[in-house]
Structure 1
Amino acid sequence: MNITVTETAEDYLVELLSKQDVEGMAVRMFVTQPGTSYAETCLAYCRPDEIIEDDEIMELTKLRFYVEKNSVPYLDEAHVDFSKDRMGGQLTIKAPNAKVPKVSADSPIAEQINYILYSDINPGLSSHGGEVKLIEVVEEEQGHIAILQFGGGCQGCSAVDMTLKDGVEATLVERIADLVGVRDVTDHSVRENAYYK
């Protein structure tokens, strides 16, 4: 587990825990909605009776972190820091892989697709106010098909077929060995926000 907690952050958290008046209080770290654009990295108090059996434990010098098992890949390279200022200070958590974990050819196919969508494809679509997300992966005779849904400026856009075939499908099929195609399940009759009408 590659999570960095600076000394100032550890001291700040120890001070917070000391005010809780509960013996053995620790910190739980987790990601809500991991692997999505809505992912949030969270720290919470963790009383001894709230420890979950499969939590991963990270022992710091003065403090123990319990890391939710499902969040571990999304917290790789996370950095927790506390910087003092005139108002007291601010705790910051940076988790570059919370929205999209690092993936490899061994990762589940859905994670590989999401990684490419969020790191390579959506940044380009966002200039048109659009996005594409994975709904599911289905296995058909010829191989895996990614079921995708467009949103924002891509929904109802007259250029979406070109974007789907020449952009999204070409990129995904080229980079993911087991993927043979994509299918769009977007209702393109909704055209209010379309980039090209």
Structure 2
Amino acid sequence: MSEATDNKEVAKQELLSSNINITESAQGYLAELLAKQQTDGIGVRIFVENAGTPRAECCMSYSQPDEHNESDLRLDYSHFSAYIDSASIPYLQDAVIDYNADRFGGQLTFRAPNSKVPQVGENATIEERIHYVLQSEINPSLAAHGGVVELAELIEEEGVGLTAVLKFGGGCQGCSAVDVTLREGVEVQLKQQIPELTQVVDETDHSQTENAYYQ
């Protein structure tokens, strides 16, 4: 590898970072699997399919030497390198890959709490914070009934304040219990975590879009 290529790789690694934790036991297990492939330079590639959705799935595959993606973040371990899909990095924050040995051979586990929705930062917009609460806390509960809720628009009105207009779908759409769900669950939870909101309504109750800045 040339010096120019090395410098480019260093610069890329400085721009990208990940706190994914591959435990020592998992490293040992993966190293054994990779050794069985008898291919110099083979590593593992880690990524999230359908990232940021309720269908998100964390994946790991072999990464052949001639298949390494230049945009991936490379993490070097004692006996192999892991290549993190750059687009998946936000969804793999705080992820842990572990291996627990037992008499049946053991099990590799992959926990990624932010795979369905990336963790929001201190400077996140109100829209991003609402989306985070909906996807990470509210929708998992509604999913048990086949329902889903998303932010339709965010409206600032003089004398009223900030209104979040929500759209219910799936099993919640047309359900007579939507109003109860909204008032007793979703609205309370959103207001607790996002105090800037003055009210939360179902889109069927609020059709004004003139002042909307999120659609």
**TM-score interval for Structure 1 and Structure 2 normalised by the shorter chain:** 0.7 to 0.9
Paired residues of 1:130 and 1:155 also in contact (CA < 8 A): no
Please state how far the C-alpha of 1:23 moved relative to its aligned partner: 2.0
User: TM-score under structure 2 normalisation?
Assistant: 0.68
Of the three residues 56, 68, 75, the one matched with 1:39 is 56
Q: What is the CA deviation profile of residues 57-88 of structure 1, one whole-angstrom value per residue up to 9, with x for unaligned ones? A: 11112221100111111111111111222222
Q: Post-superposition shift, 1:182?
A: 6.3
- 2:164 paired with 1:118: no
* 3-state SS, counterpart of residue 11 of structure 1: helix
Q: Provide the residue aligned with 1:155 in structure 2.
A: 173
Which stretch of structure 1 is more off in the superposition, 100-109 or 162-171?
162-171
Cα displacement string for residues 95-134 of structure 1 (whole angstroms, at most 9, x for unaligned residues)? 111122211353466643331113332355467x253233
CA contact (8 A) 1:2 1:78 kept: yes
Cα distance 1:146–1:95, how it changes in 2: closer, same or farther (>3 A)? same
Structure 1 residue 133 corresponds to structure 2 residue 152? no
Aligned position for 2:27: 10
Bigger Rg, which one? 2
Q: CA deviation at 1:36?
A: 1.7
Structure number with the higher helix fraction is 2
Task: Give, as a single letter, the amino acid of the residue that structure 2 aligns with 1:132.
Answer: V
Call closer, same or farther: CA 1:133–1:21 in 2, change over 3 Å.
farther
CA contact (8 A) 2:152 2:203 kept: no
Q: What is the CA–CA distance in structure 1 between the aligned matches of 2:69 and 2:201, rounded to whole Å? A: 38
Deviation at residue 163 of structure 1 after TM alignment: 3.7
Change in CA separation of 1:14 and 1:120 when aligned onto 2, cut-off 3 Å? closer
Please tell me the residue identity of whatever aligns with 1:158.
Answer: S
TM-score, length of structure 1 as denominator length = 0.73
Read off the aligned partner of 1:97 and give its amino acid letter. N
Q: Which amino acid aligns with 2:66?
A: D
User: Between Structure 1 and Structure 2, how many residues are aligned?
Assistant: 182
SS in 1 for 2:113: coil
Give the aligned CA root-mean-square deviation in angstroms: 3.2
CA contact 2:154–2:164 (8 Å) conserved in 1 = yes
Go from structure 1 to structure 2 and tell me whether the alpha carbon gap of 1:131 and 1:51 turns closer, same or farther (over 3 Å shift).
Answer: same
Is 2:110 aligned against 1:93? yes
What amino acid does structure 1 have at the position aligned with 2:90? P
Given that residues 41 and 80 in structure 2 are in contact (C-alpha distance below 8 angstroms), is that contact kept between their aligned partners in structure 1? no
- The percent identity for this pair of structures is 43
Give the secondary-structure state (helix, strand or coil) at the position aligned to 1:99. coil
Residue equivalent to 1:82:
99
Q: Partners of 1:97 and 1:12 in 2: how far apart?
A: 24
Once residues 72 and 163 of structure 2 are traced to their aligned partners in structure 1, the CA distance between those partners, rounded to angstroms, is 33
Contact 1:146 1:179 in 2 (8 A): no
Shift of 1:18: 1.4
Q: Give 1:102's aligned residue.
A: 119
Contact 2:127 2:154 in 1 (8 A): no
Q: 1 CA distance for matches of 2:141 and 2:36?
A: 47
Q: 1:173 to 1:80 in 2, by over 3 A?
A: same
Match of residue 83 from structure 2: 66
CA distance in 2, matches of 1:54, 1:94: 24
